């Protein structure tokens, strides 16, 4: 048992010394965010003109956020027009589910469950993250545009 522990500790020390545990780089995180932009634009649902997808800010510019650290930001909106006669809660439930599915299945985010927003008529917030250092926040609004997405890398050295 003592040998197994020593081997495990030794392996961890080698990984740390070789930089494996240093985390994502800005280059990796920015590349992932740019892939997310492309995936969003080419997704069958969002390339439909009725969804009115608008990329407001592309993640192609380093933004200073701390001493010698930078981030990249993607901002987008899209709309899922409410069907005539559909109650607001049902519309928000459907829109929230569509975006959660898009984030988890198309864009590969780990979406956080938040049951405190259940049936909130003022809108819903969706939060997600990727291991590569990207976080996403989406506001599902009761009015147009339905989805207001902001994804960004964490502050990372260049």
The answer to whether position 65 is within a domain reads yes
46: closest CA among 80, 3, 8, 92? 80
pTM of the model: 0.83
The answer to whether position 18 is within a domain reads no
Integer-rounded Cα Rg, in Å, for the chain is: 19
Total domain count for the chain? Answer: 1
The answer to whether position 96 is within a domain reads yes
The answer to whether position 5 is within a domain reads no
Q: How far apart are CA 22 and CA 133, in angstroms?
A: 12
Q: Provide the sign of the torsion angle of the four alpha carbons 149, 36, 133, 157, taken in this order.
A: negative
Q: According to the model, what pLDDT value does residue 5 have?
A: 41
Edge-to-edge strands, sheet with 54-57: 54-57, 73-78, 147-153, 134-140, 124-130, 110-111
Q: According to the model, what pLDDT value does residue 101 have?
A: 97
Q: According to the model, what pLDDT value does residue 80 have?
A: 94
Angle at 150 between CA 112 and CA 117, to 5 degrees: 40
Quote the domain boundaries for residue 128. Answer: 26-157
Q: According to the model, what pLDDT value does residue 115 have?
A: 84
Using 50 as the pLDDT threshold, list the residues of the chain that sit under it: 1-21
Residue partners of 151: CB distance under 8 A and separation at least 6: 33, 36, 59, 73, 74, 134, 135, 136, 137
The answer to whether position 130 is within a domain reads yes
Q: According to the model, what pLDDT value does residue 56 have?
A: 98
Q: According to the model, what pLDDT value does residue 14 have?
A: 37
Q: According to the model, what pLDDT value does residue 12 have?
A: 40
Q: Are 153 and 74 in contact (CB under 8 A)?
A: no
């Amino acid at each position: 048992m003592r040998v197994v522990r020593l081997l495990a500790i030794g392996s961890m020390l080698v990984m740390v010394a070789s930089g494996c545990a240093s985390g994502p780089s800005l280059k990796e995180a920015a590349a992932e965010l740019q892939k997310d932009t492309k995936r969003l634009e080419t997704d069958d649902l969002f390339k439909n003109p009725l969804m009115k997808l608008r990329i407001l800010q592309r993640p192609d510019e380093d933004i200073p956020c701390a001493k010698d650290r930078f981030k990249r930001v993607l901002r987008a909106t899209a709309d899922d027009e409410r069907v005539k006669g559909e109650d607001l809660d049902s519309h928000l439930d459907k829109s929230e589910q569509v975006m959660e599915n898009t984030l988890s299945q198309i864009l590969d985010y780990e979406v956080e469950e938040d049951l405190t927003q259940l049936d909130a008529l003022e809108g819903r917030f969706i939060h997600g993250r990727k291991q590569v250092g990207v976080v996403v926040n989406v506001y599902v609004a009761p009015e147009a545009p339905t989805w207001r997405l902001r994804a960004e890398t964490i502050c990372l050295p260049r």
